[in-house]
Amino acid sequence: MNARKKSILETLDSNWITTGPKVKKFEELFSNYIGCKHSIALNSCTAALHLSLLVNNISKDDEVIIPIMTFAATANVVIHCNAKPVFCDINPETLNIDVNKIEKLITKKTKAIIPVHIAGQPCEMDTINYLANKYNLKIIEDAAHATEAYYKGKKIGFENISCFSFYATKNITTAEGGMLTTNNDLIAEKVRILSLHGMSKDAWKRYSNEGYKHYDIIYPGFKYNMTDIQASLGICQLEKINNFLKRRNEIKKLYDNLLSEVEEISVIKEIDNIVHARHLYIIKLSENIDRDKFMNQLINQNIGVSVHFLPLHFHSYYKKTFNLKNEDFPNATNVGNRILSLPFYPKLKDDEVIYITDKIKEIINNSYIS
Ligand X SMILES: *Cc1c(COP(=O)(O)O)cnc(C)c1O
Of 116 and 245, which CB lies nearer to ligand X in the complex structure?
116
Q: Which of 70, 147, 237, 357 binds ligand X (CB under 6 A)?
A: 70
User: Would you say 337 and 291 are in contact if contact means Cβ atoms under 8 Å apart?
Assistant: yes
DSSP calls for 90-149? B-TTT-SB-GGGTGGG--TTEEEE--B-GGGPPP-HHHHHHHHHHHT-EEEEE-TT-TT-
Minimum separation from the CB atom of position 25 to ligand X (A): 20
Q: Is 142 a residue that touches ligand X (CB under 6 A)?
A: yes
Minimum separation from the CB atom of position 116 to ligand X (A): 5
Q: Which of 66, 73, 226, 283 binds ligand X (CB under 6 A)?
A: 73
User: Would you say 283 and 256 are in contact if contact means Cβ atoms under 8 Å apart?
Assistant: no
Q: Is 341 a residue that touches ligand X (CB under 6 A)?
A: no
Q: Which residues are catalytic?
A: 170
Compute how many residues bind ligand X; rule: CB under 6 A. 14
Minimum separation from the CB atom of position 282 to ligand X (A): 12
Q: Which of 144, 196, 199, 265 binds ligand X (CB under 6 A)?
A: 144
d(CA 165, CA 174) in angstroms, rounded, equals 9
Of 191 and 360, which CB lies nearer to ligand X in the complex structure?
191
Q: Which of 7, 74, 297, 333 binds ligand X (CB under 6 A)?
A: 74
Contacts with ligand X, 91-130, as mask; x by CB under 6 A: -------------------------x--------------
The stretch among 19-27, 69-77, 205-213, 338-346 that binds ligand X (CB under 6 A) is 69-77
Of 70 and 121, which CB lies nearer to ligand X in the complex structure?
70
Nearest to 311 by CA among 94, 102, 71, 119: 71
Minimum separation from the CB atom of position 176 to ligand X (A): 7
Of 96 and 333, which CB lies nearer to ligand X in the complex structure?
96
User: Would you say 312 and 70 are in contact if contact means Cβ atoms under 8 Å apart?
Assistant: yes
Three-state DSSP state, 368: helix
Of 50 and 360, which CB lies nearer to ligand X in the complex structure?
50
Among residue numbers 195 through 234, which ones bind ligand X (CB under 6 A)? none
Of 97 and 360, which CB lies nearer to ligand X in the complex structure?
97
26 cis-preceded (ω within 30 degrees of 0)? no
Tell me the CA distances in angstroms from 120 to 4, 189, 274, one per residue in order: 25, 28, 10
Q: How crowded is residue 295: how many other Cβ atoms within 10 Å of its Cβ?
A: 18
Nearest to 338 by CA among 255, 261, 267: 267
Q: Which of 71, 255, 281, 318 binds ligand X (CB under 6 A)?
A: 71
Nearest to 196 by CA among 78, 20, 16, 21: 20
Of 44 and 52, which CB lies nearer to ligand X in the complex structure?
44
Q: Is 180 a residue that touches ligand X (CB under 6 A)?
A: no
User: Would you say 104 and 116 are in contact if contact means Cβ atoms under 8 Å apart?
Assistant: no
Q: Is 165 a residue that touches ligand X (CB under 6 A)?
A: yes
Q: What are phi and psi for residue 225, nearest 5 degrees? A: -75, 155
Minimum separation from the CB atom of position 234 to ligand X (A): 12
DSSP calls for 186-238? HHHHHHHHHHBTTBSS-HHHHTSTT------B-S---B-BPPHHHHHHHHHHH
Q: Is 67 a residue that touches ligand X (CB under 6 A)?
A: no
Among residue numbers 9 through 48, which ones bind ligand X (CB under 6 A)? 44-46
Minimum separation from the CB atom of position 98 to ligand X (A): 17
Residues of this chain that bind ligand X (CB under 6 A): 44-46, 70-71, 73-74, 116, 142, 144-145, 165, 167, 178
